[in-house]
Amino acid sequence: LAAVGVTRHKSKELSRKQSQQLELLESELRKEIRDGFAELQMDKLDVVDSFGTVPFLDYKHFALRTFFPESGGFTHIFTEDMHNRDANDKNESLTALDALICNKSFLVTVIHTLEKQKNFSVKDRCLFASFLTIALQTKLVYLTSILEVLTRDLMEQSSNMQPKLMLRRTESVVEKLLTNWMSVCLSGFLRETVGEPFYLLVTTLNQKINKGPVDVITCKALYTLNEDWLLWQVPEFSTVALNVVFEKIPENESADVCRNISVNVLDCDTIGQAKEKIFQAFLSKNGSPYGLQLNEIGLELQVGTRQKELLDIDSSSVILEDGITKLNTIGHYEISNGSTIKVFKKIANFTSDVEYSDDHCHLILPDSEAFQDVQGKRHRGKHKFKVKEMYLTKLLSTKPPSSILGKHPEEPSVCL
């Protein structure tokens, strides 16, 4: 009887504790969902009206980046302005080549002959199409007629019996020619019509994404438009206001440049992410870039007369039990509001701060709850129970407001 009584008492105590834990878990879930809907209703995106000059490329660099996205070593051939050359420089060979290119029958036959060669790879076809587009960019009417002939021939091939599968991949000369032709024809439209609203859309999305944590390894974010990239294992985070001082460099000696800037970062941001936000804040404040690349600068925490360089990985980095290194964050260095950060130019060879691999992690931690740092200290902690569906409202809150897409209501699909 005594054993039965003790067993029943322990069973009741266990049930009571489990009920309390379930109630606490339900309360936390309700609070998270309620906060998500409150944010969806009340949070307003602070869109900056004067977001600076849209960094349009001139036509020459626009064409080079479009035709040669891999930036091969041959692009320097076109960096000089061809119009400044003397007409006498054209020899008879170039004149004869130009005459052959302008012969439709010859050009179509050459393209078909090249594509039949087994050693004529997809990369070679794209390069040939890009060179041909540059040669004929002043003769778009002739290039359009060539495209009509090549597209008709492509449709009549036995391997293209299904029209839905055509033009899905750039594997032929005509497909790359069509891509380049559309880029040339749309360059003016992009610059004069949709370039500015599209740039504002991208800037606004980046601003919203940077308000929440982003895992630098997996690129998943709390604020995103895609459920597959939703960072639902979101940690607790807070905003940290930094007083950033930029070191004077010869590349940017303008007297009008503001070198003391207040920058908001998150305590879960890596040092690399903090650099990007600091660079963006400098550009927004001064309207021009700092003058150095991200891999050319370092960050230094100033506390009184002492300085400490901030790195993604250093001797204080936390190493998990399975050997995975956790990247350093603003919170790792215990940086508080109002701290002074100095931006300085590195002296050593410029390389990327961290080559991320499977041996690194940021916000999404491995399954192991126990990890140790290099000093041998043990740290144990339980992850809060989280459900992915709790954060689906973040997808709606990230959606840009209609006011951004309404600058050209007659062309909403083009803006998107």
- What is the C-alpha to C-alpha distance for residues 365 and 370, in angstroms, rounded to an integer? 11
Higher per-residue confidence, 110 vs 226: 110
Tens digit of each residue's pLDDT (9 = 90 or more) over 119-168: 888 888 888 998 899 888 889 899 999 999 988 888 887 666 666 767 77
Q: In the structure, what pLDDT confidence band is assigned to residue 378 with cuts at 50, 70 and 90?
A: very low
Structure tokens at 345: 């130019």
Structure tokens at 92: 């008879």
Burial label for 230, CB within 10 Å (0-12, 13-18, 19+), is: buried
- What is the C-alpha to C-alpha distance for residues 251 and 267, in angstroms, rounded to an integer? 31
For the chain, give the percent of residues with pLDDT over 90.
17
- What is the C-alpha to C-alpha distance for residues 218 and 268, in angstroms, rounded to an integer? 15
* Per-residue model confidence (pLDDT) at position 106: 92
Contacts of 392 (CB under 8 A, 6+ apart): 227, 230
Instruction: For tokens 């209609």, name the residue.
Output: 402
Residue 276 has pLDDT above 80, yes or no: yes
Q: In the structure, what pLDDT confidence band is assigned to residue 273 with cuts at 50, 70 and 90?
A: very high
Q: In the structure, what pLDDT confidence band is assigned to residue 375 with cuts at 50, 70 and 90?
A: very low
Residue 88 has pLDDT above 60, yes or no: no
Residue 39 has pLDDT above 80, yes or no: no
Query: Do 269 and 291 form a contact (C-beta atoms < 8 A)?
Result: no
Query: Do 299 and 275 form a contact (C-beta atoms < 8 A)?
Result: yes
| φ/ψ (deg, to 5) at 347 | -95, -35
Q: Which range among 108-122, 272-286, 350-364, 381-395 shows the weakest confidence by mean pLDDT?
A: 381-395
Query: Do 275 and 294 form a contact (C-beta atoms < 8 A)?
Result: yes
Structure tokens at 399: 């959606």
- What is the C-alpha to C-alpha distance for residues 285 and 196, in angstroms, rounded to an integer? 19
**Would you say how long the chain is, in residues?**
416
Q: pTM for the whole thing?
A: 0.64
Can you say whether the dihedral through the CA atoms of 97, 173, 195, 252 is positive or negative?
negative
Q: In the structure, what pLDDT confidence band is assigned to residue 188 with cuts at 50, 70 and 90?
A: confident
Q: Strand 325-326 and strand 360-361: pairing?
A: parallel
Q: Which range among 280-284, 285-289, 369-373 shows the weakest confidence by mean pLDDT?
A: 369-373
Q: Which range among 7-21, 33-47, 87-101 shows the weakest confidence by mean pLDDT?
A: 33-47
> Closest Cα to residue 131, out of 148, 151, 111?
111
Tens digit of each residue's pLDDT (9 = 90 or more) over 288-310: 778 788 888 899 999 888 889 99
- What is the C-alpha to C-alpha distance for residues 326 and 216, in angstroms, rounded to an integer? 11
Mean pLDDT score across all residues of the chain: 77
Q: What 3-state DSSP class applies to 263? A: strand
Structure tokens at 9: 């008492």
Contacts of 58 (CB under 8 A, 6+ apart): none
- What is the C-alpha to C-alpha distance for residues 214 and 278, in angstroms, rounded to an integer? 16
